[in-house]
Amino acid sequence: MIIQNPILYNIVMQQRAGKRGDFESFKASVLFCPKCRIATPAREKLLLILPDSSLYDYLCTYCGTSTGSRTEKALKDIRIYIP
Name the site residues for Zn ion (rule: CB under 5 A).
33, 35-36, 60, 62-63, 65
Q: How far apart are CB 8 and Zn ion at their closest, in Å?
A: 13
Q: How far apart are CB 81 and Zn ion at their closest, in Å?
A: 23
CA dihedral 50, 51, 52, 56 (to 10 degrees): 20
DSSP H or E segment with residue 22: none
Is the CB of 26 or the CB of 62 nearer to Zn ion?
Answer: 62
Reported residue count of the chain is 83
Query: What is the rounded distance in angstroms from the CA atom of residue 51 to the CA atom of residue 3?
Result: 37
Q: How far apart are CB 30 and Zn ion at their closest, in Å?
A: 12
